[in-house]
Amino acid sequence: MSTTRTTPTEDPAALDRTDPERHIAEAAEAYRNWSRWGDDDRLGTLNFIDDAERARAAGLVRRGASFSLSQSFDMDGPQLGWRRRTNPVHTMLDTGTDAAAGLQGFPHGIGGADDVIAMPLQCSTQWDGLGHIFDRGIAWNGRPAGDVVTSSGDQVTGIEHARSAIVGRGVLLDIARFLRPEASDTDADNAAAGELPDGYAITTADLEACIEAQGPTSAVGRGDLVLVRTGRYARALREGWNGYAGGPSPGLSFTTAGWLHRTEVAAVATDTWGFEVRPNEFDDAFQPLHQIVIPNMGLTIGEMWNLEALAADCAADGVYEFLLVAPPLPITGAVGSPVNPIAVK
């Protein structure tokens, strides 16, 4: 007996806000990449980046201009303690004061300083690994979640497996600057020109229109590392964190899952805490797009990236592609990693 596969909607207005489970099940079935790269796969869509893609990306460097896309890692970060996520705690183990006082025990006048940091791996600019999110008890590639991530960490898809994978062609989609040109006035929603308001769900139509407007250097295809700027971080810089971590925010609509799947992008990162729009597009839901793209599609997601300087440069020269080097720290068994991404133009 044949079964009919339902094509998920790409129109946010067509979502039934009362039925997230149906929409999640439909999208998971439609966009699932399980076994696409073998039953033992550990990289998911990062497999789309091959050596030829990296060589092509290296050829995009023309001026040598380098941009760090990371927020700071310090006690002044955005975390409020939700689910034990705190800001980094940086402590000195040895200092110049110790050296000057002769307390370090070294010979012939040599002294030094050492320090230590304690932090959740997803407290600032970071990648979500493939072991970060499950769909009804199932992890990436159809494995039982309990067989993948244990108290010892991610035994299968730990972030260390991506240590050399995330180098390739980066593309900036400055959705905020496209939809709200800088000539506009600041609106009552506190989102200034070049910034989307909280709760704005970026649609497939928005993404495609932005690509067309920005021109050929922003074309998106297989193996690309796509950066989506909403302007939410720019507002945090201006007003303070004010709910940045976990609060209302613009972001990708649940209905963009199909676009993310068919473009065969390797990874996506945004300047927001949660990648997808918040509040979410269902009455009773939590991060439903995560539930599709990580455990079913195998997509690596970046969050809390600082895209401001890069976006300004792209707007100035009209070039939205660049070499992006963004490897995670090879922390064995981790389900996420801090990162200092570098874009080179």
- Residue 108 backbone class (left: φ over 0; alpha: ψ -120 to 50; beta: rest): left
Q: What length is written for the chain?
A: 345
> What is the rounded CA–CA span in Å between residue 56 and residue 50?
10
Contact between 127 and 83 (Cβ < 8 Å): no
Element at 296 (helix H, strand E): none
Q: Beta-carbon neighbour count of residue 118 at 10 Å?
A: 9
Mean of pLDDT values over 34-52 = 98
With 0-12 / 13-18 / 19 or more C-beta atoms within 10 angstroms meaning exposed / middle / buried, residue 315 is middle
d(CA 86, CA 96): 28
Classify burial at 241, counting beta carbons within 10 Å of its beta carbon; exposed 0-12, middle 13-18, buried 19 or more. Answer: middle
Long-range residue pairs from 192-195, CB within 8 A, at least 24 positions apart, any chain: 192/231, 192/234, 192/235, 192/238, 194/231, 194/234, 195/230, 195/231, 195/232, 195/234, 195/235
Residue-wise pLDDT tens digits, 130-178 = 999 999 999 999 999 999 999 999 999 999 999 999 999 999 999 999 9
What are 248's two structure tokens? 């209302």
Q: What is the pTM of this model?
A: 0.95
pLDDT digits (tens, 9 = 90+) for 259-292: 999 999 999 999 999 999 999 999 999 999 999 9
CA-CA-CA-CA torsion sign (40, 292, 228, 238): negative
Measured over all CA atoms, what is the biggest interatomic distance in the chain, rounded to whole angstroms?
84
**Residue pLDDT, tens place only, 67-126:** 999 999 999 999 999 889 999 999 999 999 999 999 999 999 999 999 999 999 999 999
Name all domains of the chain by residue range, CATH numbers in brackets: 19-81+120-344 (3.50.30.50), 91-118 (no CATH)
